[in-house]
Amino acid sequence: MPSHKYALLGLIIAALLLASATGRPHTAAADIEHYTVALPAVIAQTQTIFGLDATSLTPERGLDGLLASATSWVRASNLLWRDVEPVEGGEYHWDAPSVQLLEQEMLTASTHGLKLILLIRSSPTWATAPYQADCAPISPAKYTRFAAFLAAAVDRYSKPPYNVLFWEIGNEPDAPIFPSDSGYGCWGVTSDTYDGGRAYGAMLKVIYPAMKARAGQISVLNGGLLLDHPYNASDGSGHIARFLEGIFVAGAGASFDILSFHSYSYYDTTIDGTRGATDWKVGYLRELMDRYGVARKPMLNTEAALLCTTTSPACSAAQANAIGRFYIRAIADGLIGHMWYVYDSDAFNNTALVDPTDVSIQRPSYQAYRQVATLLSGARLLGPLKNQPSGIEGYRFASGGARTITVLWSDSQQLTVIPVQPGAEVTCADRGGEPISCANTDGAVQLLTRPGPLFVIEQ
């Protein structure tokens, strides 16, 4: 998201995101066995989970490095309703400067085969009255105007040469309503039982059929949920989590295709930040779908990162250690996509993978991302690596037919034995792809674990 939203709400978001950090002990791994993860299917072309948020898809912002990183998903572009339809019922201004820049990025994504998530935000003031903020709830009387705009946009951009298939309706709409413009969605109403989610759901029920009528092949995402922590009925905490419930209560469970959410961790001087082996949000959101009788949707984490409130070598190293873990755990959780925020900017808690002042300088976190994305793109999860010492987490993948890749890590250095096929040619690498000496001795590889993922590749 644009950096101005964070400047506007720095203190609020710090409190919210701190609450999203969680850690849960994971069980010790066990022996190798084949195992299938049930992935909810909605789009036939799903290939890989690896994705990046970026400020723009241009050479000046490191496009070459992004393309070289084996990224599949990108989330970089915003279509601003207020710029296209500044006057209600007037002509659509597809020639607006922001739209022209966006169209170039659409073309770039399409040319390079990237799955672009197009973010729809910033309503005109005539649609949000009596609220002034462009992120505020749209007036119910204007839902049909919003639907008409989106139908026109889908008609324009879902086909060649743009080929936009993924449409996200707002950003963090469960955030509270603000008095001025914001990159948040800001439909949240703290006085409402469901935090404003019913109104957002009513809007989805109007726009969804209009969009799908123009291009049935597109996928509509809800605005990525901020979702700071679970709702607790006993004390009323976590009220923001009721927003999704409100969408379901409004009967809009079938009015979007992919469930989008955000999940951050703050660096707390530990190796892996604070998220731990399992992100609680995945199970929580699936439980809500089950509770309300909504068919389980594919899930996409459209913003995630290990945040560094100040720059330090220790925090930068932790990001490089954590990034591979995040994506591999997202695979194990059955997500269809996971997006690091943000590739080329430090404006939000110093998360850039490249130096924002010189995007040709790639940080250790970039090398770690490229390594895991390159090796595991298109790979199939076989299951956890079992029978390992306590504290070691690992997974096995099949890639390229007979090729098997084992990935493992531990917060503390431990000697471990990785079973491999006797006689197989084996190579090993660290988190960033640097070779590590290893040998297949009678079907076993011995390694000293590290905080960053290690890769054992059998040919």
- The pLDDT score that the predictor gives to residue 113 is 97
User: All domains of the chain, ordered by start, with CATH?
Assistant: 4-379 (3.20.20.80), 384-458 (2.60.40)
Work out the average pLDDT over 397-405.
87
State the alpha helices, DSSP H only, in 21-174.
Answer: 63-68, 81-84, 97-111, 125-128, 143-157
C-alpha closest to that of 223 among 337, 300, 329:
300
Q: What is the pLDDT of residues 351-381, one digit of tens each?
A: 999 999 999 999 999 999 999 999 999 999 9
- The pLDDT score that the predictor gives to residue 236 is 93
Confidence of residue 275 (pLDDT cuts 50, 70, 90): low
C-alpha closest to that of 355 among 98, 62, 8:
62
Is the pLDDT at 445 greater than 60? The verdict is: yes
- The pLDDT score that the predictor gives to residue 273 is 73
Work out the average pLDDT over 410-435.
96
Cβ atoms within 10 Å of 344's Cβ, excluding its own? 24
Is the pLDDT at 277 greater than 60? The verdict is: yes
- The pLDDT score that the predictor gives to residue 408 is 98
Is the pLDDT at 13 greater than 80? The verdict is: no
Work out the average pLDDT over 254-273.
91
Contact 64, 42 (CB under 8 A): no
The Cα-based distances of 415 to 108, 324, 390, 391, 457 in angstroms read 46, 21, 11, 11, 18
- The pLDDT score that the predictor gives to residue 213 is 98
Strands 354-355 and 358-362: antiparallel
**Mean pLDDT lowest for which of 229-243, 259-273, 359-373, 407-421?**
259-273
Contact 127, 142 (CB under 8 A): yes
Work out the average pLDDT over 431-438.
98
Q: What is the pLDDT of residues 179-195, one digit of tens each?
A: 999 988 899 999 999 99
**CA atoms 414, 415, 419, 421: torsion sign:** positive
| Residue-averaged pLDDT of the chain | 90
- The pLDDT score that the predictor gives to residue 34 is 29
Contact 393, 381 (CB under 8 A): no
Is the pLDDT at 319 greater than 70? The verdict is: yes
The Cα-based distances of 15 to 18, 170, 419 in angstroms read 5, 22, 44
- The pLDDT score that the predictor gives to residue 78 is 96
Work out the average pLDDT over 186-211.
98
Is the pLDDT at 114 greater than 50? The verdict is: yes
Q: What is the pLDDT of residues 39-80, one digit of tens each?
A: 333 333 335 999 999 999 999 999 999 999 999 999 998 999
Burial 299-315 (b: 16+ CB within 10 A, else e): bbbbbbbbbbeeeeeeb
Contact 410, 446 (CB under 8 A): no
- The pLDDT score that the predictor gives to residue 400 is 82
- The pLDDT score that the predictor gives to residue 184 is 87
Q: Which residue has the higher pLDDT, 255 or 270?
A: 255
Q: What is the pLDDT of residues 118-169, one digit of tens each?
A: 999 999 999 999 999 999 999 999 999 999 999 999 999 999 999 999 999 9
User: 354 preceded by cis ω (within 30°)?
Assistant: no
What percent of the chain lies above the pLDDT cut of 90? 85
- The pLDDT score that the predictor gives to residue 47 is 53
**Mean pLDDT lowest for which of 20-29, 153-162, 182-191, 420-429?**
20-29
Q: At what angle do helices 242-249 and 280-291 cross, to 10 degrees?
A: 20
Is the pLDDT at 26 greater than 70? The verdict is: no
Work out the average pLDDT over 102-123.
98
- Give the H or E element holding residue 458: strand 454-458
Q: Which residue has the higher pLDDT, 278 or 309?
A: 309
Q: What is the pTM for the complete model shown? A: 0.89
Q: CA 157, CA 128: separation in Å to the nearest integer?
A: 25
- The pLDDT score that the predictor gives to residue 269 is 86
Work out the average pLDDT over 404-413.
96
Work out the average pLDDT over 96-102.
98
Work out the average pLDDT over 1-17.
37
Work out the average pLDDT over 304-310.
95
**Mean pLDDT lowest for which of 14-23, 166-175, 278-287, 443-452?**
14-23
